[in-house]
Homo-oligomer: A and B are copies of this chain.
Amino acid sequence: MKRKVAIVGASGYTGRELARLLARHPAFDPPLLMSSRPGVEPDAPETSFEPRLEKLDLERFRDVDGVFLCTPHGAAAPYAREAMRSGKVVVDLSADFRLKDGALHGSVYGEDHGPDLRAAAVYGLCEHARAAIARARLVANPGCYPTAVTLPLLPVLAAGLVDLAADVIADCKSGTSGAGKDPKKRTVFGAVHDNFLAYGVGDHRHAPEIAQTLRTDRVLFVPHLLPVFRGILATLWLRPSPGVRAADVRACLRAAYADEPFVRVYDKGLPELQFVQHTNFCDVGVADVPAAAPSGARIVVISAIDNLVKGASGQALQNMNLLLGLPETAGLLP
């Protein structure tokens, strides 16, 4: 028998991406799409073939097996609570339940609508929390930049290949879909096309999330806005521990992710956005950046994801698969 999920906030980019992924998932019926903007927008040349969005109705959680929350930051708590009260598992794609430290959550996101939910939520970086996710009721889906930054760094830091006396520079670049569908001065075509810029320098909300996952504050993070729609490429500059070369970092990553269906570590070459767009892959490549004095050299690790898939809706579906006891890759392989 097929499962069924509800998507709350289905009109945005992540909601629609989830609907698209679910449409080819073998184990799910068509999802219940709910939105505060139900129907088809009257002024839009929407096709008659788009699925209809229904209005928000928490009663209907009873009819589903799981709930995806694609609501804006700060809005997830009442939906999560109601869904869990109905005995349903929940994957929240907002940032509301990601940070464990309450004071930190408050300083980054303001009012805290669900300290209990934050405490209960499992941070859903599947490759590193699979067992906990399978037992969870509520999953906090990781942010897009944190996914791109932490997947390649976790095994390398754990193996001691990085000299943390130096910092790790995470110079990251993202397409505009990360900023959401609502028109903003920042995301209008004339402000993005043929342009490139840094934003949120020294002040981006994903920095503490990265620190929490990596258990270090040695990673310094700056995001940039690319004139593309989907994709994040992270350029990670590591100071290697003495004697460590790119080949060692590569070998470590290949070993760590050898059995992972969604992390591809390159033998040679480096990832490009094109290699991961419209997929749930996180691609990783490694290269040396030599210096006159070998002790001054860095290793550059490049990772690439589709921010709407592995950085949001794909990873969310990976989590839901785990929560519902389905094969983790169902509906997510090309």
Contacts and interface: CB of A to CB of B under 8 A. Distances in A.
Contact of A201 (B20, B231, B270): B270
A227 B237 CA distance: 23
Contact of A197 (B224, B233, B237, B300): B233
A235 interface: yes
Interface residue range, chain A: 35 or more
B47 A300 contact: no
B202 A289 contact: yes
Contacts of A267: 48
A270 B45 contact: yes
Contacts of A270: 45, 197-198, 201
A158 interface: no
A1 interface: no
A177 interface: yes
A275 interface: yes
Contacts of A111: none
A166 B166 contact: yes
Contacts of A292: 211, 217
Contacts of A182: 188
Contacts of A13: 190
A196 interface: yes
A257 interface: no
Interface string A256-292: 0000000010111111111101100001010111111
A302 B143 CA distance: 25
A3 interface: no
A200 B291 CA distance: 15
A201 B300 contact: yes
Nearest to A334: B23
A183 interface: yes
A46 interface: yes
A196 B229 CA distance: 11
Given A176-B190, A184-B183, A226-B226, A24 B334 contact: yes
Q: Of residues A46, A183, A184, which shows the largest number of chain B Cβ atoms within 10 Å of its Cβ? A: A183
A193 interface: yes
Interface in A168-216: 169, 171, 173, 176-177, 181-185, 187-199, 201-202, 211
A172 to B, nearest CB: 10
Nearest to A302: B198
A63 interface: no
B181 A188 contact: yes
Interface in A83-102: none
Given A189-B191, A211-B292, 9 more contacts: A23-B334, A45-B268, A47-B266, A194-B274, A195-B228, A197-B270, A198-B235, A201-B302, A202-B288
